[in-house]
Amino acid sequence: MANTLNQLRMMTTVVADTGDLNTIERLRPVDATTNPSLITKALTHSNLQPILIDTLAKHNNNIDNTIDELTVYIGREILQHIDGRVSTEVDARLSFDTEQTVAKALAFLQMYEQMGVDKQRVLIKIAGTWQGIQAAKILEEQGIHCNITLIFGLHQAIACADANVTLISPFVGRILDYQKQQQNRDNIPTNEDLGILSVKTIYSYFKQHGYQTQVMGASFRNVDQILALAGCDLLTISPDLIDNLRAMDKQIERQLFPDMAFATIEKQQFDEQSFTKALEQDSMATKLLTTGIDGFINAREELANKLQNLVNTNSG
């Protein structure tokens, strides 16, 4: 019998949630996702220090431009170890600015092109604000594929599907964390896990109404959450949980099917006003979206500080 990871791969595209090149080479996932925290970890390797210094010099120590180029550099390096796509995150400070998000995405793709990377192998990763989703709509119309992240509510997912976004990333683990805190519970079984139920509802809604947007469950806290979503279009999983799945020989069954009727929900549509109202009425989605964006911004600032320290060290 195949190990649990290989069984899962027969039902779902497994994506590695890491920017570490050695780990990606070892795991050989189809796709990979990155964010500033993962890029910061990837760039801590001593063998990359010369690249950091050279990139800073190229941009006259402009930290923002350096981070953008390093982001694309790591993306290109990841693509050399996988057959699929890499998600490249737009600066989270632009999450509420449609025009600037589009501009940043186009700049990323231009850099990728200069490095010899086909845009079809890149997913532009954008936070699930109304402005971010509208930026993705503009990009998708130009044949540029997007991954809308920080999805915590059905209204976000529906807006993404109506924008013809390539895929969305509902954050399973963060929803569970919120649920535990609100319900003051340490352990919640998978059949009550609101993160799992959220993904199942979104997946069912998309299939029920014929949307092409794919669902990629993300932010897992344990193996049980992953196996409860076996059959989802994609699952992005941290290296430690991928290793756990590989070490298991548990036989698994598919949980999500394209023709499943987990939740029958009438087709809905949102404009900016109704989207904002739905978000305001969903305290969990509001809080987790806000804290998620703040977390990405803080991670970028951490990377910026590391680079500034490098500038100071080399100029001292």
For 122-147, write each residue's pLDDT tens digit.
Answer: 999 999 999 999 999 999 999 999 99
Domain that holds residue 236: 4-311
Q: Which residues contact 70 (CB under 8 A, 6 or more apart)?
A: 39, 43, 51, 52, 55
d(Cα 9, Cα 226) in Å, to the nearest integer? 12
Q: Is residue 67 part of a domain?
A: yes
- Domain-embedded: residue 42: yes
* Residue 270 burial (CB count, 10 A): 18
Whether 200 is catalytic is no
Residue 125, classed as helix, strand or coil, is strand
Q: Which of 85, 103, 93, 183 is nearest to 129 (CA)?
A: 93
> Structure pTM?
0.93
Cβ pair 16, 216 in contact under 8 A = no
Which residues, in sequence order, are CB contacts of 127 under 8 Å at separation 6+? 92, 95, 148, 149, 150, 289, 292, 293, 296
Q: Please state, as a whole number, how many other Cβ atoms lie within 10 Å of the Cβ of residue 193.
A: 23
Distance CA 25, CA 229 (A): 25
Looking at residue 198, which CATH number applies to its domain? 3.20.20.70
**DSSP letter assigned to residue 232:** S
What is the per-residue pLDDT across 206-260, written as a single tens digit (0 to 9) for each?
999 999 999 999 999 999 999 999 999 999 999 999 999 999 999 999 999 988 7
Name the catalytic one among 41, 119, 125, 267: 125
Measured CA to CA, the distance from residue 51 to residue 55 in angstroms comes to: 6
pLDDT at residue 263, rounded to an integer: 66
Number of domains in the chain: 1
- Residue 188 or residue 264, greater confidence: 188
Collapsing DSSP to helix, strand or coil, 76 comes out as helix
What's the pLDDT score for residue 264? 76
Does the residue 316 lie in any domain?
Answer: no
Position 1 pLDDT exceeds 80 = no
Confidence at 198, pLDDT banded by 50, 70, 90: very high
Query: Could you give the residue ranges of the DSSP H alpha helices within 80-166?
Result: 98-114, 130-141, 154-162
